[in-house]
Amino acid sequence: MRVQPFHLAIPVSDLQKARKFYKETLGCGEGRSSDHWVDFNFFGHQLVIHYKPKEEIEKAHSNPVDGKDVPIPHFGVVLEWDVFEEFANLLRSKSLEFEIEPYIRFQGQVGEQATMFFKDPCGNALEFKAFKNKDQLFAK
C-alpha cells in the first residue's frame, strides 16, 4: 500500500497568532486560506488550522511517560535524528517555551528517541521526535 501524507485539522482560538506561529516559528509553508481556516505544509503533511471560539475548545490533559507529564492530545512528526537537533536549536534560538525540553527518552532501550513538546499560541500540544534507530518506530 502506498501511503500519502496525512491531513490533520485542529481548532485555534486566534487565527492570526496561530498563522504566524506555524509560518514564522515552525517554518511551515502556507497554502490556501479563508477568513476561518489556513492550510500549511507541515513537514510534508497537510495541517489545517480552523478558527473556533476559545470557550468551545476542549481543555487538554496529560499522561505520565518516562517521568514527564505528556500533554494529551498532541500531534507532531518523526524527524531524522540530526534534523531533530537542528530543529530543537532553531526553536531555542526563537526563545520558544517548551512544555518538555528536548531530551533523550528510553536511552539504551528499544525505542530510544529524542523528543520535545511545546504548545502553539492556542494551546495545541505538539511533539517532535526522532528515533536513534528508525526501524524501532513500532518495535515492542
- Residue 92 contacts residue 25 (beta carbons within 8 Å): no
Backbone angles phi, psi at 98, to 5 degrees: -90, 140
For the stretch 104-130, pLDDT in tens is: 999 998 889 999 999 999 999 999 999
Tell me if 20 is assigned to some domain. Answer: yes
Q: Which of 82, 55, 70 is nearest to 125 (CA)?
A: 70
| Nearest-angstrom CA–CA distance, 104 and 37 | 35
Q: Do 80 and 25 fall into the same domain?
A: no
Q: Do 48 and 66 fall into the same domain?
A: no
Res 57: pLDDT: 86
Tell me if 1 is assigned to some domain. Answer: no
Res 13: pLDDT: 96
CATH number reported for the structural domain that contains residue 132 in this entry: 3.10.180.10
| This prediction's pTM | 0.91
| Nearest-angstrom CA–CA distance, 108 and 45 | 31
What is the domain range of residue 71?
58-136
User: Any idea which of 15-19, 33-37, 38-42, 53-57 has the lowest mean pLDDT?
Assistant: 53-57
